[in-house]
Chain A
Amino acid sequence: MPHPASSPPQSPRSVAIVGAGIVGMSAAHFLSRAGWQVTVYDAGAPASGATGSADGAVSIASKKPGPLMTLAVAAVRFYEHLTETGILGDEYLPRSTFVVASDQEELGVLERHASHLEASGVSIRLLKGAALTGAIGAAAPSAIAAVEVQGEGHAVGYRVVERLRRLGGFPIRRNCRVSGFNFSKGRIVGVVTEDGVEPTDAVLLATGLGSASFLSGLGPIRPRKGQLIVTDRAGADAPSFPGPLMSCRYLVSKGSQAAPGVTESRSLGLVIDPLRTGQFLIGGSREDRDDRETTDADVVATLLRDAVELAPSLAQLRVIRVFAGLRAATSDGLPIVGRVGGAENLWIATGFEGDGICLGPLMGRLCQQMICGEPVAHDISSLDAARFGLSLATAA
């Protein structure tokens, strides 16, 4: 559902991008390449939001069947494309993800999810017996089955942002919160910050959790906290992990597959992610809380108990850091990408919850296409802000 920008003003046209997370920085890159004069504003610094406190699964394995899974397939291809064209350097690391079942109940969930992945055209391998032992037996001896999801990978959100910053072409205003806009004839004509008002021809809100303050009505965007654990490096004699191990329970925790009786405000889903540095990132929780400064021993210990149960060799490592991040979650689990009522030249891309590292670059590209009035390469009608009746808060 492309929306051409009405009556494009004289070039070079200027666009203000609010938010220097992976989504805003990707959009900035593509808009700048498309000849726009781009300014990025961030209340903190690049990647100071969710992008800087995330894992980096560029992954289809955990996606909910439906539009999100379809878009994730396209998003992974887009990472490959950005790698081939040199834009991302070597920030994207292709690798398989292993979704692991440890008991019969989990096996049921695994088989159901595998069929959804296949239906979306994802290449998978169901591993049992000798194939299972050969692939992940050393890492996860007690697994009874696994699905290897092929053709996906990993990218560190803040490193992608740094790469795009270095490619440059636009200024970034750090510590510069956008508090509102100036309007004329139904259009935004100025961005209001502490430093004054700067004129602009278009605005993209890529403000993650900060988006709520720009929107009227009860915000559909809620913080969903995640806690992650970083270990030290594994020794040379440690069993090798061919890719991240994701417990089937993770799918349930993420809401990608249903399971009876999981309704609490906190859920834990285990992912053991071997990083390029030789360290592991172990996550994560999903909690309806908004404090990103604190991390709890209870959550950490529970995750680690599950981790060691699945991969006993982890017990030899040490925790060097625990951190938390806040995902911007929507009530229907889908991002919000498109126009916002209240101004003709305003777009939004937010609500990526736990999928924004994967989807971010592609969404930045699609935002550029929308703002340029070009055809949009993928169907994102299900992400339209109209489903929540969103419009710009007048008091902004």
Chain B
Amino acid sequence: MSAEVLVIGGGPAGASAALHLARAGLHVTLCEQGPRLGGALHRQPDDPAQRIRVPRAQSQRWRALSTALEASSVQILCRHMFAGIEGGGTVLLEDRASGRLVTRRPAALVLALGAVERVTPLPGWQLPGVTTVGGLQVMMKSTGQAPDGDVLVAGSGPLLLALAAQMAALGKAPVAVLERSPKLVSPSVIASLITAPAYLREASHYLLALARAGALPQHGTWVRAISPRDGRLAVTIVDRHGRDRELVVDRVALHDGLLPNQNGTAAPSNGPFVVRAGDCREVLGGVAAMADGRHAAKAVLAHLGRSTEAEPSATRVLSRERRAQAAINALYDYSGADPAWLPDETVICRCEGRTLGQLRDLLASSDPVSAREIKLNGRFGMGACQGRFCAEWVAAFIAAQRDGEPPAVSEIIGSRWPVKPVPISAFVTLPPSRPSE
């Protein structure tokens, strides 16, 4: 019997890693927490008839990969959430269909968990009706419907454009798209994207759709604050001349870039061999994720002593995509609102409702309080998300207050399992490993 390899994440990186490992003759299980494979980019709709339009090359790539996967020996477990690697080196999976916790001891583990969406704090971002751009996109991809009411899209990054265009295609363009970065696509960026023309094509489609709907991004514009008003949201917007204006909407979708998802995935030394693939290793997009899955498969095979062939094409794809992402990212400004401008009441940790004032207070003394003390006493990173959404910002804030002494994000973000909250009712289904006293 061949060794088992567990692949976590049913996006392009995980699917590609699983396929290549199975083709090499390994016994592979692919776990996805959601109801279907696809990941963030190729998310499949709840109802196949209600599907939003995506670029044709993109859907073809996924169709080819998922068809090959179906024909392969890979065992696919949807609604299975990877909960972490516990102290004994055992991998924990929450079977969300049956509500049980199951354990595995694979020889190798490929983590292809994707990216997490960054949103930087601003007053009112914790209000109901404020979501992330990615969150809204997931909703649209699953239901095939755009949200009701007036939607404002704000922050920075190509995802703003993608979401807004997808909404426009469904006949419900956002009331405005606010892009913090003042930069527009320049000839030099176009030049660096020549080797990855798909991005240019995609961007021009989106811009065209938005121009038709009269919702082209307003550059150099950002949200100062959001407050509730008569069941809607009053948004203070700063335009590119620094002037404030107000817009009343039903929903606000925010986004400030993507980061690799690394929460809670520390691997103990007695656990399986662990490789990361795709956006959870380096955020390089969907095409790179497929190539990176091949790389991860190769690393696992090498670890298991299987002979492997070099993957020159995967390496080529990765470096091309890295260059393209660098060029794209140069156009955006992910810094968010300048913390110096944020009032003390601004919520930083939305899980625990902790504010910037409380963080400032902890840093006020001349005592060089450590990141761990800030975590414990400020409760930043102590809530249900374990710092997934605030640790990086809090660490950067501390660093900025103390010139040149940045604390490790790992001191705030949890490196422990469970990766995400796990129901107690699932834990109690684990069979006792020994007779109880």
Contacts and interface: CB of A to CB of B under 8 A. Distances in A.
B358 to A, nearest CB: 12
Interface in B385-437: 386, 414, 416-418, 421-425, 427-428, 430, 432-433, 436-437
Interface in A215-260: 231-232, 249
B86 interface: yes
Interface in B334-386: 365, 367-370, 372-373, 376-377, 382-384, 386
A231 B373 contact: no
Contact of A162 (B373, B417, B421, B428): B373
B432 A305 contact: yes
A162 B370 contact: no
Nearest to A298: B433
Nearest to A306: B436
A283 interface: no
**Closest CB pairs A-B (n = 10):** A294-B87, A318-B421, A45-B370, A301-B430, A297-B86, A296-B87, A315-B425, A304-B427, A162-B377, A158-B376
A321 B414 contact: yes
A174 B368 contact: yes
The DSSP consensus for interface residues of chain B is loop
A304 B414 CA distance: 21
B103 interface: yes
Contacts of A321: 382, 386, 414, 416, 418
Contact of B376 (A52, A293, A315): A52
Contacts of B417: 295, 322
B372 A48 contact: yes
A136 interface: no
B92 interface: yes
Contact of A267 (B365, B433, B437): B437
Interface of A: 44-48, 52, 158-159, 162, 165-166, 172, 174, 231-232, 249, 262, 267-268, 291, 293-298, 300-302, 304-305, 307-308, 314-323
A159 B424 CA distance: 27
B428 A47 contact: no
A300 B90 CA distance: 13
B384 A320 contact: yes
A319 B420 CA distance: 9
A45 B373 contact: yes
Interface string B322-343: 0000000000000000000000
Given A294-B268, A319-B418, A321-B414, A304 B88 contact: no
Given A172-B367, A321-B386, A297 B90 contact: yes
B424 A322 contact: no
Contacts of A159: 376-377
A385 B333 CA distance: 62
B421 A319 contact: yes
A323 B88 contact: no
B62 to A, nearest CB: 32
A295 B86 contact: yes
Contacts, number: 114
A322 B418 contact: yes
A107 B373 CA distance: 42
Given A52-B376, A320-B384, A298 B428 contact: no
A187 to B, nearest CB: 30
B326 to A, nearest CB: 36
A301 B384 CA distance: 19
Contact of B373 (A46, A295, A298, A317): A46
A320 B421 contact: yes
A323 B365 CA distance: 29
B134 to A, nearest CB: 22
Most buried by A among B377, B422, B432: B377
Contacts of B87: 291, 294-297
The DSSP consensus for interface residues of chain A is mixed
27 contacts: A45-B370, A45-B373, A47-B373, A158-B373, A159-B376, A162-B373, A231-B424, A267-B437, A268-B437, A294-B86, A295-B87, A296-B86, A296-B87, A297-B87, A297-B88, A297-B90, A298-B86, A300-B427, A301-B428, A304-B427, A308-B424, A308-B428, A314-B424, A320-B421, A321-B386, A321-B418, A322-B417
A262 B372 contact: no
A45 B372 contact: yes
Nearest to B415: A293
Contact of B428 (A46, A158, A305): A305
Nearest to A304: B427
Contacts of A165: 367
Nearest to B378: A162
B86 A304 contact: no
A52 B373 CA distance: 9
A46 to B, nearest CB: 6
Contacts of B373: 45-47, 158, 162
Nearest to A48: B372
Contact of B370 (A166, A174, A262, A267): A174
B196 to A, nearest CB: 40
A304 B97 CA distance: 21
Most buried by B among A158, A249, A262: A158
Interface in B78-92: 86-88, 90, 92
Nearest to A294: B87
A52 B430 contact: no
Nearest to A261: B437
A318 B92 contact: no
A278 B120 CA distance: 27
A316 B427 CA distance: 11
A317 B424 contact: yes
Contacts of A315: 423-425, 428
B11 to A, nearest CB: 25
A302 B432 CA distance: 7
Contacts of B101: 297, 301
Contact of B427 (A166, A301, A323): A301
Nearest to B92: A297
Nearest to A282: B424
Contact of B103 (A158, A297, A320): A297
A321 B369 CA distance: 24
Contacts of A305: 427-428, 432, 436
A262 B436 CA distance: 12
Contacts of A319: 418, 421-424, 427
A268 B101 CA distance: 21
A298 B88 contact: yes
A319 B81 CA distance: 14
Contacts of B382: 321
B367 A302 contact: no
A305 B88 CA distance: 19
Nearest to B434: A298
A294 B271 CA distance: 12
B280 to A, nearest CB: 21
Contacts of B268: 293-294
Contacts of B428: 301, 304-305, 308, 315
A158 B370 CA distance: 13
A318 B367 contact: no
Contacts of B430: 297-298, 301
B328 to A, nearest CB: 35
A63 to B, nearest CB: 22
B361 to A, nearest CB: 10
Nearest to B268: A294
Contacts of B414: 321
A318 B99 CA distance: 12
